[in-house]
Structure 1
């Protein structure tokens, strides 16, 4: 299993749409939008290599160095098979 944590979603959104619009959107929307784009590209690349599997965006997990924490409400936000 691979865990990927994106830590600069707000900066990426700001660079794409501008600081003003980024300030108008909540960080959770920024994080979800960036995660969705990363998932889309990962699926395209992995499928092109012939790999099959599943990928999920999960709320309620926190990766801090070598520690993985579960929050009270762990929820699968998005799940896709490829």
Structure 2
């Protein structure tokens, strides 16, 4: 499992670098897509390490959410 965790870490680093580049270039669609991939990678790593799990079926539990605020570029 250590090898898989290492691969996730390298992938996460690349995603974060790409997200930084997208933000610097004001490429908000790319930034939103990359943010989703980063979230999914963190969720997968958490599940592998036992610090995150999906709520059991039929149980309503508070869910974690991330809001990304993009500047208004219409002006």
State the TM-score bracket (shorter-chain normalisation): 0.3 to 0.5
Question: Normalising by structure 2, what TM-score?
Answer: 0.42
Specify which structure has the higher proportion of strand.
1
With normalisation by structure 1, the TM-score equals: 0.39
Write 1 or 2 for the structure with the bigger share of helix.
Answer: 2
Between structure 1 and structure 2, the one with the greater Rg is 2
